[in-house]
């Protein structure tokens, strides 16, 4: 069954397949008709098992594997394979999420051991009023230096999160995630680093068309509240003095759509 498959790193699985020709070799041309049919059945089963295992850790690797091993089958049924692999991957993620919930090192408010009363009030209010929403929630933006506990706090909240650090990674996005974390990403460089527009990403925009490097455009459902963790030097225009009408409009927009707190 799907649930009984053991997770395996994608790269290792591909390497194992490449070094095991007897397991994943096409039917021999000199076999009898019955023998060829049996070999073909075994070959298809072996490819399916390997692809399902790959899908547990990487949907893209599973799709690439089937495309390489059975190109004609992939051409006719790629959509079906994609939906199947997404289901397998989701099941594994749900199991891992359950394990993480049961083994969290820290939970709020213990995840912020040096939390001030003012910060505790802000975060508690955001959790009670915004974190529960599936639309139009204000994002929480915490600005503070390294080692202040921002990341441990963000990861301590209940439910699975989509965590991004450094740059956009579409292949790690999960519509099923409970909330979003954007860690150590300069405020004014989100789009330069490949992220969708902040006005879509941080405001529960709903169905949004996005892309990534070397990937086609797809729809994702942004219904999760967002947490943005910034170092002071990366806050940029978010906390800069407004110099003109455009700056004032920018400041006004995020005043209505975010809760910003400087540690």
Confidence of residue 176 (pLDDT cuts 50, 70, 90): confident
Q: Looking at the structure, do residues 132 and 95 belong to the same domain, yes or no? A: no
Domain match, 96 and 212 both: no
Predicted confidence (pLDDT) per residue in 59-100, tens digit: 999 999 999 999 999 999 999 999 999 999 888 887 776 666
> Is the domain of 210 the same as that of 94?
no
Diameter over CA atoms, the chain: 81
Structure confidence at residue 251 as a pLDDT band (50, 70, 90):
confident
| Residues 59, 125 within the same domain | no
Say if residue 97 is in the same domain as residue 137.
no
Domain span holding position 95:
2-102
The answer to whether residues 80 and 196 belong to one domain is no
Instruction: Tell whether 127 and 97 lie within a shared domain.
Output: no
Look at residue 183 and tell me if it is in a domain: yes
Q: What is the pLDDT of residues 194-241, one digit of tens each?
A: 999 999 999 999 999 999 988 889 999 999 999 999 999 999 999 988
Is residue 109 one of the residues assigned to a domain? no
Domain final residue, candidates 57, 74, 102: 102
Task: Supply the pLDDT for residue 12.
Answer: 40
Q: Is the pLDDT of residue 261 over 60?
A: yes
Banded model confidence at residue 109, pLDDT cuts 50, 70, 90: low
Instruction: Judge whether 108 lies within some domain.
Output: no
- In this structure, are 124 and 233 located in the same domain? yes
Please give the backbone phi and psi of residue 227, each rounded to the nearest 5 degrees, phi first. -120, 125
pLDDT of residue 113: 67
**pLDDT reading at 9 higher than 50:** no
Q: Which of 102, 132, 155 is the last residue of a domain?
A: 102
Query: Which among 105, 137, 124, 132 is positioned nearest to 205, based on CA atoms?
Result: 137
Let me know if 198 is exposed, middle or buried by CB neighbors in 10 A (0-12, 13-18, 19+).
buried
Token pair listed for 2 = 């799907």
SS3 162: strand
Q: What is the pTM of this model?
A: 0.64
Cβ-Cβ contacts under 8 Å for 254 (sequence gap 6 or more): 238, 260
Asked if residue 111 belongs to a domain, the reply is: no
Indicate the residue among 102, 127, 157 that finishes a domain.
102
């Amino acid at each position: 069954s799907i649930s009984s498959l053991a997770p395996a790193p994608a790269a290792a699985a591909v390497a194992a397949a490449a070094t095991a020709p007897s397991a994943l070799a096409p039917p021999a041309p000199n076999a009898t008709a019955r023998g060829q049919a049996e070999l073909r059945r075994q070959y298809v089963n072996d490819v399916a098992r390997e692809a399902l295992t790959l899908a547990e850790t990487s949907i893209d690797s599973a799709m690439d594997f089937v495309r390489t091993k059975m190109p004609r089958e992939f051409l006719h049924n790629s959509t079906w394979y994609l939906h199947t692999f997404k289901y397998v991957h989701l099941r594994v993620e749900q199991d891992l999420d359950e394990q993480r919930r049961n083994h969290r090192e820290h939970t709020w408010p213990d995840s912020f051991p040096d939390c001030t009363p003012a910060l505790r009030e802000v975060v508690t209010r955001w959790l009670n009023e915004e974190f529960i929403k599936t639309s139009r929630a204000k994002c929480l933006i915490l600005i503070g230096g390294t080692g202040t506990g921002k990341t441990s706090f963000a990861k301590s909240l209940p439910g699975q999160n989509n965590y991004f650090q450094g740059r956009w990674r579409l292949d790690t996005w999960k519509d099923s995630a409970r909330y979003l974390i954007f860690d150590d990403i300069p405020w004014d460089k989100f789009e330069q680093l490949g992220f969708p527009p902040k006005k879509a990403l941080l405001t529960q925009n709903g169905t949004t068309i996005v892309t990534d490097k070397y990937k086609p455009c797809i729809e994702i459902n942004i219904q999760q509240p967002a947490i943005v963790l910034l170092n002071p030097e990366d806050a940029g225009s978010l906390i800069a003095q407004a110099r003109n009408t455009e700056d004032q409009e920018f400041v006004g927009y995020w005043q209505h759509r975010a809760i910003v707190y400087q540690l």
